[in-house]
Amino acid sequence: MTEIIKPSLEKVIVTENLTKKFGHFTAVDHISFEVNRGEIFGFLGANGAGKTTAMRMLCGLSKPTSGEGTVAGFDIHKQPEMVKKNIGYMSQKFSLYDDLKVWENIELFGGIYGMTDNEIKLKTDELMGRLNFESERDNLVKSLPLGFKQKLAFSVSIFHTPKVVFLDEPTGGVDPITRRKFWEMIYEAAASGITVFVTTHYMDEAEYCDRVSIMVDGRIEALDSPANLKEQYNARNMDGVFQQLARKAKRVDS
Amino acid sequence: MPKMIFMFPIMVLLVFPWAASYEISNLNLSVIDNDHSRMSHQLVEAITASGYFKITNVSNGYNDALKSIEKNESDLIIEIPQHFEKDITTGTGVKVMISANAVNGMKGSVGMTYISGIISNFNQSNLSKQFPQGAKNGLMPIQIDEQYRFNKHLNYQVFMVPALMVMILTLVCGFFPAASIVFEKELGTMEQMNVTPVPKFTFIIAKLIPYWIVGIIAISIGIIIAWLVYGLIPAGHFYVLYGFTIVYVFGISGLGIIISNYAHTMQQAFFIVFFFMMIFIMLSGLYTPVQSMPEWAQWIAAFNPLKHLTDVMRAIYLKGSGFGGLMKELIVLVLFAVFFNTWAVISYRKTQ
């Protein structure tokens, strides 16, 4: 791999009282946090806690009702398209084009991010080799097994070397071995300097993060490294921490 | 969506019975009066007094009048010869020539029947009494020389096929784009696109280009079938036909994209498309001439791109009109295309 970049104090994501309301319902309630460059930042919370809504605001998919935020140095209110140039995004739902081939998907998204044809070709070759994907290159994406699809979706989301990649429950529905491999890819990405912002339901995955925030009812209830959180809540693992915090939730899971 | 559910029965039952009427009225008449006599004026007055005809053009010669038909300004031409009055008074009898634009066969022949009726009435009530000598040899003072223009055999297929081609284009290039973005919304790829820095304009253009190709293929198949099965070959140039097709497809698929942008689900998109298609097809002049509809329905039809292309296709196929004669329609269709696509780009929201 390339040189290992340790999390630096350069702030890649900064939010200040970020809020999103849908009518009378406050999905995200004045959240403030910072994420450093190269960090793996875990974003935890029960269903309906507001994780996805918060993430969508940071990605420029949803307009905040109030509060401030910058991603990769760009204001999410005023420069959403600049934010988009500098991030990668992988949603819960697999969302590459099923009826395009593997290489066509890569070319499409690479092209949208303004990569040159040559750059795309070289990187595609490198990627196919690294993932042992050479035989799948000309296959339609819909014919791939789920584990492959997820690896591909992640690879496409960081193909243009964004400053930050947002992963929304990236490992939903895959087996533990594939999950393990997936996290290896996340580590590699973080080591190359890409900041990783990841939501998850799996508490073992939370342990892999540099820092973790836990959302309850639209607010951030806890934010620290997994080790510190376990000490603070006197729990053996992250699951223990999560259980204690999630019990406070008043919102009924829809 | 609930609005549409109310609008649908209201539109269908309040608009269509008027618009889809088979009664022909408001026929446009071009008059060539070579006599300028009291009697020729009387005849023209008798025709307009019937209420079926509007004089839209007064020409000096037959060629001028024919041009007004090419431009769709008139449906029938009546040519009153020189010495009209004199020949009637002397009892020689006179021939009035009537040419009907038979592109729309039904309209042409119905118009012809009306005008013949009016003239024979005029013969009997006004002239036979005044000039009984004309009727002596069993001839009416005024006789009619009937001519059908552009579709001599009053072949209904000739009239329908070009219009049906427009319907095909509308269905193929209006329906599928309407499904396209909604489909991606349901699939999740839309969100993936929205999180990229792709400019809105680029995205919409990329969505439209396939329909251009599809439209050109569809119309080409149409042209081939029209030729093989019905023996129809456009009287005009192919480049005019394809030129209009491209402009039209651009506009109608833009409308599809707009629908797709607003709809949340496929069902919604299909319902809205169905709604528009009904109105567009009914008010296109495909079955019943738009001119015979009440004025308010004509106003709706004026905003119907389908109606304009239907006129254009018939004109290209039957009259051989070129861009020059169809300039008005070209401008209208370009305006539709620009309007729909601007709206399509604006209504596409990358950020909710």
Q: Which two tokens stand for residue A203?
A: 């508490």
**Residue B255: how many other CB atoms lie within 10 Å:** 25
Tell me which residue of A130, A127, A126, A178 sits closest to A150, measured CA to CA: A178
Residue partners of B190: CB distance under 8 A and separation at least 6 = B181, B184
Other Cβ atoms less than 10 A from the Cβ of A192: the count is: 15
User: Residue A116: its pLDDT value, please?
Assistant: 93
CA distance A44 to A139: 35
Q: What is the pTM of this model?
A: 0.76
Is some CB atom of chain A closer than 8 A to the CB atom of B83?
A: no
Instruction: Please report how the helices B305-314 and B156-170 are oriented relative to each other, as an axis angle in degrees rounded to 10.
Output: 140
Q: How confident is the model at residue A161 (pLDDT cuts 50, 70, 90)?
A: very high
Average pLDDT over residues A34-39: 91
Q: What is the pLDDT of residue A254?
A: 45
* CB contacts, 8 Å: A109 with chain B: 196
Bridging pattern class, strands B27-33 and A164-168:
unpaired
Contact between A207 and A198 (Cβ < 8 Å): no
B201 to chain A, minimum CA–CA distance in Å?
Answer: 13
pLDDT tens for residues A105-131?
999 999 999 999 999 999 999 999 988
Q: Which one of B184, B191, B203 would you mutate to disrupt binding with A, by most A Cβ within 10 Å of its Cβ? A: B191
| pLDDT-based confidence at residue A2 (cuts at 50, 70, 90) | very low
Q: Which of B187, B188, B197 sits opposite A113 (nearest CB)?
A: B197
- Selected for mutation to probe chain B from A93, A150, A168 (highest B CB count within 10 Å) is A93
Q: At A147, which helix (H) or strand (E)? A: helix A146-157
**Closest Cα in chain B to A55:** B195
- Tell whether B351 is within 8 A of chain A (Cβ): yes
pLDDT along chain B (352 residues), means of 10: 70 71 79 89 88 86 83 86 85 85 80 88 75 58 82 74 89 87 88 91 91 90 90 89 93 92 89 86 80 80 90 87 87 94 91 80
Token pair 């394809």: residue:
B242
- What is the rounded distance in angstroms from the CA atom of residue B141 to the CA atom of residue A163? 93
Please give the pLDDT value at position A6: 54
Q: At residue A251, does pLDDT exceed 90?
A: no
**Contacts of residue A68, Cβ cutoff 8 Å, sequence gap at least 6:** A14, A15, A16, A17, A18, A75, A77
What confidence score (pLDDT) does residue B257 get? 92
Q: Find the mean pLDDT for residues A229-250.
A: 84
Supply the pLDDT for residue A1: 42
Name the more confident of A250 and A70: A70
A96/B192 touch (CB, cutoff 8 Å), yes or no: yes
Q: What is the pLDDT of residue A55?
A: 92
**pLDDT recorded at residue A110:** 93
Six-digit token string for A226: 């997994």
Q: What CA–CA distance (Å, rounded) separates B224 from B152?
A: 23
Residue of A55, A58, A56 lying closest to A75 (CA atoms): A58
- Residue A197 near residue A58 (C-beta atoms within 8 A): yes
Q: Which of A9-13, A193-197, B236-240 has the lowest mean pLDDT?
A: A9-13
Query: DSSP letter at A225?
Result: -
Strand, helix or coil for residue B308: helix
pLDDT at residue number B22: 64
The per-residue pLDDT for A164 is: 94
Cα separations in angstroms, B194 against B189, B191, B198, B341: 9, 5, 8, 19
Quick one: tokens of A143?
């014919």
Is the pLDDT at A7 greater than 80? The verdict is no
SS3 at position B304? coil
H-assigned helices in chain B: 2-14, 16-19, 38-49, 62-70, 84-90, 105-122, 129-130, 132-136, 156-170, 176-187, 189-194, 200-228, 238-262, 266-282, 295-302, 305-314, 327-347
Cα–Cα distance list, A216 to A34, A35, A206, A252 (Å): 18, 19, 16, 11
pLDDT at position B325: 83
What is the nearest CA distance from A238 to chain B, expressed in angstroms?
A: 31
What is the residue-averaged pLDDT of chain A? 88
Residues of chain A contacting B196 with CB distance shorter than 8 Å: 84, 109, 112-113
CB A215 within 8 A of CB A221: yes
Distance from the first to the final alpha carbon of chain B: 19
Question: Has the ipTM of the complex gone over 0.95?
Answer: no
The Cβ of residue A78 has, within 10 Å, a number of other Cβ atoms equal to 9
- Residue B27: in which H helix or E strand, if any? strand B27-33
Binding-face residues of B in 179-218 toward A, CB within 8 A? 187-189, 191-192, 194-198
Residue B157 CA to residue B163 CA, distance in Å, equals 10
Report the alpha-carbon distance of residue B293 to residue B285 in Å, rounded: 10
Residues of B in contact with A61 (CB under 8 A): 191, 194-195, 350-352
**CB–CB of B195 and A61 under 8 A?**
yes
Token match 């999950």: residue? A179
